[in-house]
Structure 1
């Protein structure tokens, strides 16, 4: 073994085992905190965990579960486990008493292993329960027993229905038994930020790039669509997301990518006349804020046709899902998408 290889190996091991030590330390520290919290609860009051740590569209889709759990456990102290980058989606939820910003799944395993929680509602399955640094996967026995996994989940309904079944809250392949419209809890600071942007009404929000390439529509067709919208309609076109892969020269286009938090982005979408985007996190923000959605979709990893949404988007009362059965999103032609969009904007 060469010196450089030896250094690489032990550097990797140092970071790995430091990470694992920190996960255990934070796990036992949090468990102790929850044990103290539990000791202060009223007699009969339960400590309840809801676990949905990622992705942000999934967390938005799962929001009705917090209300459903609160309805069934009105006196419980409810803790939502979430990755730190997404905590703002849960911070202001009145059905949740505390947000745990999860360090990694090893920390969670330590906390839950102490038995401090009276009820645990696990809204994810094995592929979401993985820490690459610890090289640890956590199984969800409910999901396993029901055959819900990354290859089958959309056979069990929309995301909300899948998460409710994965947690054991509802029977297999059942509809969600309560209000299924996801909500967001926007604050004055989010409104003030968007006020400061000086957006011109009317405007259309577009989201053109997801975090999963098979869901995407090619950049050149987005450019065609935005150019067509600019020529034929009196809308400002506002792009949101982490980053843009477009080259747009029209004056009616504005790029806000990478400039806003998730809830600031939601407020931009809320004020828009239309949302045009992909099956990705921002489309769930559109559903939750009530902005009419035009969502480009396609066949996805074994699911020829699926519907991830509950509420207004799911019933297509407040959205149109633009797709052709069996075709990937990238296979949708510009002309097909343009004509579908035109039908909505004319009405």
Structure 2
């Protein structure tokens, strides 16, 4: 073994075992905290955990569960487990009493081993229960019993229905029994931030790059679409997301990628005339904020014709799911997408003319 390899090995081990030790410590501290919370509850008042730690589109899709659990347990102290980067999505939810900002599954395992919670609704399965630093997976017993996993989960319904089933809240392969429209709880600070962006009164917001390549549409076709929209219509075009891969030269386009928090992005989407994007987190923000969505989708892995959305996007009352049977999103022809977008925008223009007349 070379000295460089020796240093690399022990540096890796140092970081790994330091992380594990920190996770165990924080897990015990969290256990002590919630034991204190429980001692402060009234007699008969339950302490309930809802676990949906990632990704942000999934947390938005799962929001109706917070209302459903609150309805079923009106007096409970409800704690939502989320990774720190996604905590803002639930921190203002009036149906959630507390957010537990989980750093890894080892921390959660140590916490839950204390049996401090009266009920635990785990809304995820093995692939979301993994810490790469600890190199640890944890299993969801309900998901195991019902055989719900990353290879078949869309066979059980939309994301909300899948999460409710993995949490044991509803029977297998059943519809969600309550209001299934996701909501967001935007605050004045989010509105103030977007006020400061000086956005036009009439714009289309676009999300052109997901965190999972099989869901993406090629950048050159997005470039075509942006230039066509800029030439054909009088909307400004605002791109949101983490990072843009477009090469756009038109004054009608503005890039806000990487400049906003999740809920600030939601406020930008809420004010838009339309949302055009992919099956990814921002499309769930569009569903929750009520902005009409044009969603580019396709066959995904072994799911040939899936629908991740509940509420108005899921029923296509406030969205158009753009896809061709059997084709992945990357293979959707530009002309096909162009025609689908045109149909929505021109129908909107016709409706506006009818109202004015």
TM-score, normalised relative to structure 1: 1.00
Q: Is the 8 A contact 1:201 1:235 kept in 2?
A: no
Question: Residue 123 of structure 1 corresponds to which residue in structure 2?
Answer: 123
Distance 1:229 1:240 in 2: 17
Correspondence list, 1:269-284, <5 A: 269-284=269-284
Shift of 1:6: 1.4
Paired residue secondary structure (2:249): coil
Paired residue secondary structure (2:80): strand
Paired residue secondary structure (2:28): helix
Shift of 1:201: 1.8
Correspondence list, 1:209-220, <5 A: 209-220=209-220
Question: Residue 261 of structure 1 corresponds to which residue in structure 2?
Answer: 261
Cα root mean square deviation, aligned: 0.5
Distance 1:318 1:21 in 2: 48
1:81 aligns with 2:81: yes
Structure 1: any 5+ residue segments left out of the alignment? none
Distance 2:214 2:163 in 1: 22
Question: Residue 68 of structure 1 corresponds to which residue in structure 2?
Answer: 68
Distance 1:295 1:91 in 2: 28
Superimposed CA distance per residue, residues 207-260 of structure 1 (whole angstroms, 9 cap, x where no aligned partner): 000000000000000010010100110000000000100011110100000000
Shift of 1:41: 0.3
Correspondence list, 1:231-310, <5 A: 231-310=231-310
1:92 aligns with 2:92: yes
Correspondence list, 1:304-343, <5 A: 304-343=304-343
Shift of 1:5: 1.5
Question: Residue 54 of structure 2 corresponds to which residue in structure 1?
Answer: 54
Distance 1:201 1:333 in 2: 31
Q: Is the 8 A contact 1:243 1:258 kept in 2?
A: yes
Correspondence list, 1:107-256, <5 A: 107-256=107-256
Superimposed CA distance per residue, residues 139-159 of structure 1 (whole angstroms, 9 cap, x where no aligned partner): 001001111000000000000
Distance 1:127 1:235 in 2: 40
TM-score, normalised relative to structure 2: 0.97
Structure 2: any 5+ residue segments left out of the alignment? 348-357
Question: Residue 16 of structure 1 corresponds to which residue in structure 2?
Answer: 16
Shift of 1:8: 1.2
Instruction: Tell me the matched-pair count.
Output: 347
1:101 aligns with 2:101: yes
Shift of 1:84: 0.4
Shift of 1:325: 1.0
Distance 1:332 1:18 in 2: 47
Distance 2:318 2:168 in 1: 29
Distance 1:41 1:109 in 2: 23
Paired residue secondary structure (1:71): helix
Distance 1:5 1:299 in 2: 43
Shift of 1:326: 0.4
Task: Give the ranges of 4+ consecutive aligned residues of structure 1 lying more than 3 Å apart after TM superposition.
Answer: none
Shift of 1:26: 0.1
